[in-house]
Structure 1
């Protein structure tokens, strides 16, 4: 893997997580569109790099051990911290839904339409989706073992995801986010050599079309436009080896903290000045400070704990 491609996705994911943060802060707003694109990039990157690392022939036991070692302890450290936050704020903690959250199955409550009765749960659906991604990866990788099959899987999944996103009321842009992982795996397994500039042009035109649809009130094509724009962005990132990020390259250093930022940010929004932009900056500083502490704490866990 070209290190420049890895850097592209590292920076894009960091920008995406701060877009998600801002989208939740200013909700509801037009930011839900770039937030959805950001979630797609997260999912695509996960599928893409997983396929590059493991391919279609993998030791499933070792695969899951690696995933649990990399994500499991971090997740439980975050939830331990959030449990303390909930108790200090007088929220409900002693409920069976809290156990669901600690098992990483928050998304099940969301997707089944069950109202969450625990003080935990905000944003934890994405961790459940990650588990679903990794559970489905071995079969998905085998389905995409050749380029023609990968194309069929990607195209069919795109059509189905757009339809389900339009017809279902699950929320979280679940189907488009799931599509990101599927397309990422298909792309990683087939590794097509494409030029970056047509993808960049398609992404730019998609953004223009989305803005035009929003300004005119015509939103019937939003889902399809977001899907195609997201795919174009990821294809561009996967092929653009000549990007000069300059100072933005430092953002890649925050990639290690993305899971923590995503899981805790809505719990740590503060409003000390009641000035929205300034309070967003203050909240972001608080979130980053706590994130670094939690990440270091999870890394300091005994090796045996992290491996099992």
Structure 2
């Protein structure tokens, strides 16, 4: 163990022992002096002081152990306004992809009349928040921010963030136009009517064990298919056009209407998306309405 104290005006950071600041006064001339001593403890520090002064009588007027100064940690740099904007609006643009009047009509057909509004409402909230972040970016960005990124590589994250933020208004206006166009297209679509059924809600369709869709008769399971007949359009001489929902194994389901007549191979309509099915259903409804109106000209 070290016992020799270190006496100096400055603390040696390489010396791990505590430092004691001692003020003392000599009896001879009553002058006061201050000294810094690094020692294992206060007793060793006093012993070192006596050896340092010599035979001169003295009185200690104050002694305190000095607390080592911890270097201040520099505060983290504030993120650039562009980086703040990009982080806050991440994923906003993707929420508006695929939004059209047809997509809202498809939602209404499948999930009911409230579904389009339920789709639009959170998008309006997103637009409001997006505009706030754009205003905040415009208020905080400076010319210095732009100059900082000018010399950076194209793929530098800070430059990528700057490009996204500086074109943010264009992306916002595109999303805003998509919401407006889709909602107006859906709202003013007068090609059909909506019948409101006040009766009890229909029960959920039952899917049999081993099937992927309701109504499957399991006839085509050996071919890896689940098939449910949705309806049939009758024609003369016993021919017909069946309409079926088909769910192949490891593939997406589809609806198909086709003719059995081998000389009419082009009489087939396959629907892979909701929009396809909605368009085909509308064509059937239009044709049915036309037949109903024309029936008035036929014999009773």
TM-score range, shorter chain: under 0.3
TM-score between both structures, scaled by the size of structure 1: 0.22
The answer to which structure has the higher strand fraction is: 2
Report the TM-score, using the length of structure 2 for normalisation. Answer: 0.22
| Structure number with bigger Rg | 2
Whichever structure has more helix as a proportion of its residues is 1
Higher relative contact order, structure no. (Cα contacts within 8 Å, ≥ 6 residues apart)? 1
